[in-house]
Amino acid sequence: MRITQGAFSYLAELTDEQIEAQLRYALQNGWSISVEYTDDPHPRNSYWDLWGTPMFDLSVDEVETAMREVRACREGFPSHYIKVIASDASYNRQSTALSFIVNRPEVEPGFRLDRTDAHDRVVRYGLHSYATEQPPGQRYGQGSNE
């Protein structure tokens, strides 16, 4: 099962040129850019590890600066999920305006739906990530970094 977090998740992988176009769009709107990565992409795990620091105050002419950070994160964590987040501070708070995955591991083990029967015929469901059966750094094969 393919992870579908953020925009464009049902499309083919974005090329670097398409990623740059999205970064340019975000910067044209005055949004700040950050890059995050994880080896546990559970749908409720919305706060991934931050790569570097958020890039505030980049101009449209500095798209390559943001793209350089995406490439550096890919080099550092080639077997992790990596996403770009564009945050909008126009309402005096940082709100996610756009987020999309820019890197995936070669193999995505997926999730299992667990059903638990409780008292009074109550049924509870939960998701179990197959990747978390391995320790961090070993969840997506060789080459993962901690």
pLDDT for res 140: 65
Domain residue extents for the chain: 16-108
What's the count of helices (H) and strands (E) in the chain, helices before strands?
2, 6
At the fourth CATH level, the homologous superfamily of domain 16-108 is Ribulose bisphosphate carboxylase, small subunit (3.30.190.10)
Residue of 42 and 80 predicted with greater confidence:
80
Question: What pTM was estimated for this model as a whole?
Answer: 0.76
List, as one string, the DSSP characters of 58-87.
--GGGHHHHHHHHHHHHHH-TTSEEEEEEE
